[in-house]
Structure 1
Amino acid sequence: MGDIAILDCLLVFFSACIAFFISRGNHAPRTRMAAVLAILLPIAFLILNQVVWASTKVGIIEYITCMINPTAPACPPDLPKPTWQKPSETAILSTPAPTQSPSQAEGLQYDVDISRLKDECGRGKFESCDDLAIMYYRGRNISRDYSQAAIYFRKACDGGMRYSCFNLGSMYEDGFGVERDYNIALRYYERFCEQGYPTGCQYRNRLKDRMRQL
């Protein structure tokens, strides 16, 4: 949020400079119109920036970048859409919905054998635990069950599936499938952060700020 605040201050300063310019002497109508637009456009950008931040926790420039390239390091997993857009099928939580595992990114089909995934998860194939968690969470070819999703996210996280730690943290923060517990959510966000993912650090810091306000 600090970068956004700096940007807002620069825009306000820029608009103030133009207003001062307009107030100094007589100018041609076109010059005045251009100056007025130069004032209004930064203000409109500032307002839109705040709207996007309130909905997605990223600034408009970062949001557009993530829409173009979702795999950019600074992009939160499954970046939520602004509230003024129609929510997607997976936009269920206020925090990012569960993210895709490597196997899903390669085109995991949801008509896979659930029993096989459970067997593989039980034998230590933690990618299968992550796949099961996402399927339970989203209700794809299986009854939606947040408590089961939390169980499999925990197994996957303990097995080193980094995004499962983040997703489990979001479930603890929102109380989906588990009893809401901000302290546990913080621990899982911290684990994601410690593995070199800025998103985990951002959500950890945001949750700490939220807890201080309680």
Structure 2
Amino acid sequence: MRKSSSIAIFAIELMMAAPSEAEEPIPDYSASLTAYNAGDYRTALESWHSLAEQGYAAAQCNLGYIYEQGFGVSQDYTEAMRWYEAAADQGHARAQAFLGQMYEKGMGVPQDHLEALRWYTVAARQSHAWSQSKLGDMYKSGQGVPKDFVLAHMWFNIASAIGDPMASFRRVEVEKSMTPAQIAEAKERARVCMSSGYFDCKMPGQSTP
């Protein structure tokens, strides 16, 4: 089966979702991940489909990714959305991030930047660095929100601090359009945002995330 022509969004981290410490252990998860990494998508698909039907969020997220990319199956954005939503509804941050991209790109759903922003924000509040960086991109370009270089810098700074190596380059790039006072303000907003557990992350008087 063919792979999606879209760029893989998690190139800087392991694509397949592993169970978080909060999740109950998943039976035979290591074997299915080994099969996936070896290119045996059919075996991984069968295992994750069974686990996903039992409600394991990490397996649901992985299954969604397999359908999104067309690994071992016909590419099917609708099926991908179904499994991402199932995992996201359980609080799985990576699935929430994938949903954000599906809405941002209009993959299987009408393009909706506000919905993309919502899902990226939910994942960002769980310390998901890539989603935090995506919020920076949205503020930098003005997708779904007014263009705001201070908030873009803030999210790039946070994402860089917790593990997205590309975020630092994006932060440097946006600084080229900012004054020293704006950069200082962005750094202070990043400090406040992180200390609040990613909930106080907007400008004073601003209603958007």
Contact in 2 for aligned 1:154/1:168 (Cα 8 Å): yes
Partner of 2:187: none
Partner of 2:157: none
Change (3 A) 1:97 1:178: farther
Partner of 1:122: 53
Correspondence 1:164 to 2:95? yes
Task: List, as ranges, runs of 4+ consecutive aligned residues in structure 1 with deviation greater than 6 Å.
Answer: none
Contact in 2 for aligned 1:90/1:97 (Cα 8 Å): no
Partner of 1:185: 116
Cα distance in 2 for partners of 1:194, 1:182 equals 18
Q: Which has the higher helix share?
A: 1
CA RMSD of aligned residues (A): 2.7
What is the letter of the counterpart of residue 107 of structure 1? T
The one of 113, 120, 143 equivalent to 1:210 is 143
Partner of 2:17: 101
What is the letter of the counterpart of residue 129 of structure 2? P
Q: 111-120 vs 185-194, which deviates more? A: 111-120
What is the letter of the counterpart of residue 101 of structure 1? A
> SS of 2:43's equivalent?
coil
Change (3 A) 1:92 1:194: same
Deviation sequence 1:122-177 (CA, Å, 0-9, x none): 32112221121011011111111011111111111112321111111011000011
| Identity fraction in percent | 21
Q: Where does structure 2 lack aligned partners over 5 or more consecutive residues?
A: 19-28, 148-209
Structure number with bigger Rg: 1
Q: Where does structure 1 lack aligned partners over 5 or more consecutive residues?
A: 1-88
Cα distance in 1 for partners of 2:33, 2:133 equals 28
Change (3 A) 1:145 1:124: same
Pairs within 5 Å for 1:1-214:
92-93=6-7, 96=9, 99-102=15-18, 106-109=33-36, 110-112=41-43, 114=45, 117-208=48-139, 209-211=142-144, 212=146
Q: How many residues align?
A: 124
What is the letter of the counterpart of residue 123 of structure 1? Q
Change (3 A) 1:174 1:113: closer
Structure 1 position 206, deviation (Å): 2.1
Contact in 2 for aligned 1:153/1:167 (Cα 8 Å): yes
Structure 1 position 197, deviation (Å): 2.4
TM-score by length of 2: 0.51
> SS of 1:112's equivalent?
helix
Change (3 A) 1:131 1:101: same
TM-score by length of 1: 0.50
Structure 1 position 116, deviation (Å): 5.1
> SS of 2:34's equivalent?
coil
Structure 1 position 106, deviation (Å): 4.4
